[in-house]
Amino acid sequence: MRQPLVVGNWKMQGSLAGVEALLGDLVSATPAAGVEVVVCPTYVHLAQAVSLCRFSSLTLGAQDCSHVQSGAYTGEVSPAMLAEIGCRWVILGHSERRQYQGESDVLIAAKLMSAAEAGLRPIVCVGETREQREAGAAQAVVSTQLEEALKGRANLAQLVLAYEPVWAIGTGLTATPEQAQQMHAFMRVCLADIANVDSAATRILYGGSVKPDNAAQLFAQPDIDGALVGGAALVAADFLAIINAAAA
Ligand code: PEP
């Protein structure tokens, strides 16, 4: 039985006052039983967020981390530093980092190992572009991303995957529940093949314009175990509605 997981990716948004207000609304809401909820603010807001959530069931994640624990890497933040301040999760390989920071599968694999070493739970994102889908290459792209990130790695017991079709992120376009289910089922088969994990027990999230009005249909699919939510995670009522849909 895989526990539903809903993760909010706040991207590069927020302010001290905004974080306090949004987390205040989330923490004061009655938590939906049985759903694990994670919020990922920017690095600069993480310590504040950990403190605001300390008496709640919400846990915190980072949106990225370095591939090493310390050293001469100007501007980087290590998994060990994140773990020390109470961050429990980390998103890796988000398509915006692949696109704007040029992150490769090799670098993502190194970050994955480094995160696991520090005890952070990794959420590894994969997904195809619109052009790749239209060319019939969606499964090939996703399986390559999975293989490069996971093959031969140890310490994957805490692994969570997120299928995030690039064409659906922040665009208002969502994969249909059938398209998403098909890819999630395929990812589970790939996972069993390439990684030393229990693929039936590994949670696979869907991400890409998840909103209160499409969440329930996505969560009804047998291989969709929750969501990685961008825009709708910045509005407390919307994020709570998505969490409630995951609980239903
Ligand atoms: C994301 O940032 O991972 C994401 C899925 O964004 P959105 O929900 O806004 O499409």
Residues known to be catalytic: 94, 164
Q: Tally the domains of the chain.
A: 1
pLDDT at residue 199, rounded to an integer: 93
pLDDT of 226 > 90? The answer is yes
Contact indicator for 141, 166 with CB cutoff of 8 Å: no
With 0.85 as the threshold, say if the pTM is over it.
yes
Domain that holds residue 13: 8-247
What's the rounded Cα separation, in Å, for the pair 9 and 121? 15
Which protein residue's CA is at the shortest distance from atom 8 of ligand 1? Answer: 230
Ligand 1 center to 39 CA (angstroms): 13
What's the rounded Cα separation, in Å, for the pair 98 and 211? 24
Is 2 within the bounds of a domain?
no
Exposure class string for 128-140: b at 16+ Cβ within 10 A, else e:
bbeebbeeeebbe
Is 79 within the bounds of a domain?
yes
Is 88 within the bounds of a domain?
yes
Residue 3 pLDDT grade (very low, low, confident, very high; cuts 50, 70, 90): very high
Is 194 within the bounds of a domain?
yes
**pLDDT, tens digit (0-9, with 9 covering 90-100), for 151-167:** 888 778 899 999 999 99
Which protein residue's CA is at the shortest distance from atom 3 of ligand 1? Answer: 230
Is 3 within the bounds of a domain?
no
Is 1 within the bounds of a domain?
no
Amino acid (one-letter) located at 33: A
pLDDT at residue 62, rounded to an integer: 98
pLDDT of 248 > 90? The answer is no
CATH of the domain at 84: 3.20.20.70
Contact indicator for 56, 25 with CB cutoff of 8 Å: no
**pLDDT, tens digit (0-9, with 9 covering 90-100), for 36-71:** 999 999 999 999 999 999 999 999 999 999 999 999
pLDDT of 11 > 90? The answer is yes
pLDDT at residue 172, rounded to an integer: 82
**pLDDT, tens digit (0-9, with 9 covering 90-100), for 92-150:** 999 999 999 999 999 999 999 999 999 999 999 999 999 999 999 999 999 999 999 99
Strands (E), the chain: 5-9, 36-40, 59-62, 89-92, 121-126, 160-163, 203-207, 226-229
pLDDT at residue 44, rounded to an integer: 98
pLDDT at residue 232, rounded to an integer: 97
Ligand 1 center to 227 CA (angstroms): 9
pLDDT of 31 > 80? The answer is no
Is 56 within the bounds of a domain?
yes
Q: Ligand 1 pocket, 170 CB below 6 A?
A: yes
Q: Ligand 1 pocket, 95 CB below 6 A?
A: no
Dig out the tokens for 191 from the structure. Answer: 């996972």
pLDDT at residue 90, rounded to an integer: 98
Is 93 within the bounds of a domain?
yes
pLDDT at residue 75, rounded to an integer: 96
What's the rounded Cα separation, in Å, for the pair 242 and 182? 21
Give the nearest ligand 1 atom to 125 CA: 3
CB within 8 Å of 178: residues ≥ 6 apart: none
